Chain A
Amino acid sequence: DAKTTQPTSMDCAEGRAANLPCNHSTISGNEYVYWYRQIHSQGPQYIIHGLKNNETNEMASLIITEDRKSSTLILPHATLRDTAVYYCIVRVPGGYNKLIFGAGTRLAVHP
């Protein structure tokens, strides 16, 4: 699986959009970008994934650059409950492909 680079930490004001970047310059053509998050004391939780088109679901939006070397996870209206560590992972899809977690970005949402 390709490696990813994320900032160690970020801050965001409650109600504002949180934009979390991820670099994955060595991503392969068949690899998708996945995002998970881990709220304190809980197991990681799937957020969203995409190949090359922008994706949106009830939790977040995912913007992938045209060259696919980087992406941004957007939480449109961050709340205090979005405070968590966010992991960007690139992998070939399928439940048989193990998830390898990096250090992630620690997002702190403040009032």
Chain B
Amino acid sequence: DAGVIQSPRHEVTEMGQEVTLRCKPISGHDYLFWYRQTMMRGLELLIYFNNNVPIDDSGMPEDRFSAKMPNASFSTLKIQPSEPRDSAVYFCASSLGTGQLSNTEAFFGQGTRLTVV
């Protein structure tokens, strides 16, 4: 498996524009997580899904952020409208919910570096 795949790797956009980040989890994984990383706040969990259903979105900063998972192999994180303070690296991760402990670890993508100017 190619691992968790995120696109784009880098995104530069102007304030006010809509931004969509994409994630393809590892095939067979039933949990998907979105994280944001900044120097000030470190790695923050934004939202996670189980079997395509959002379970906990308490980390989503505000209504400008939304996430969807239309099927088991694809998820999006959308920011509309974007603001400079949204600049960060966004990571997607996936995992197996149950099974042998060694098989239930989270695997992370390479991240999307977002810059809002």
Please give the residue numbers on chain A whose beta carbons come within 8 Å of chain B beta carbons, in ascending order.
Answer: 32, 34, 38, 41-46, 49, 93-96, 98-104
Residue in contact with A43 in the complex, picked from B45, B104, B109, CB distance below 8 Å: B109
Interface size classification for chain B: 20 to 34
Main secondary structure of the interface of A (DSSP, over half): loop
Asked if residues A98 and B98 are in contact (CB atoms below 8 Å), the reply is no
Please report the C-alpha to C-alpha distance between residue A103 and residue B44 in the assembled complex, in whole angstroms: 11
Partner-A contacts on B (CB < 8 A): 4, 29-31, 33, 35, 42-43, 45, 48, 50, 56, 91, 93, 95-99, 101, 104-111
- Please judge, given known A-B contacts A43-B91, A101-B43, A103-B42, whether A96 and B105 are in contact too, CB under 8 Å: no
- With contacts A49-B101, A93-B101 known, is A98 near B108, CB below 8 A? no
* A46-B105 contact, Cβ under 8 Å, with A95-B97, A96-B50, A101-B43: yes
Whether B111 pairs with A96 at a CB distance below 8 angstroms is: no
User: A96, B108: Cβ atoms under 8 Å?
Assistant: no
**Contact B93 A43, beta carbon cutoff 8 Å:** yes
Question: Which 5 pairs from chain A and chain B are nearest by CB?
Answer: A43-B108, A95-B95, A95-B104, A101-B43, A96-B97
Name the residue in A43, A49, A100, A102 with the highest tally of chain B Cβ atoms < 10 Å from its Cβ. Answer: A43
Q: What would 5 A/B residue contacts be, using CB atoms closer than 8 Å? A: A32-B101, A49-B105, A95-B96, A96-B50, A98-B56
Whether B110 and A43, one on each chain, are in contact in the complex, defined by CB atoms closer than 8 angstroms, is: yes
Bound-state Cα–Cα, A11 to B104, Å: 31
Task: Contacts A100-B45, A103-B42 given; indicate if A46 touches B107 (C-beta within 8 A).
Answer: yes
Known: A43-B93, A44-B43, A100-B45. A94 touches B104 (CB 8 A): yes
CA distance A41 to B110 in the complex (A): 8
B87 to chain A: closest CB distance in Å?
Answer: 15
The distance in angstroms between the C-alpha atoms of A43 and B107, with both chains bound, is: 8
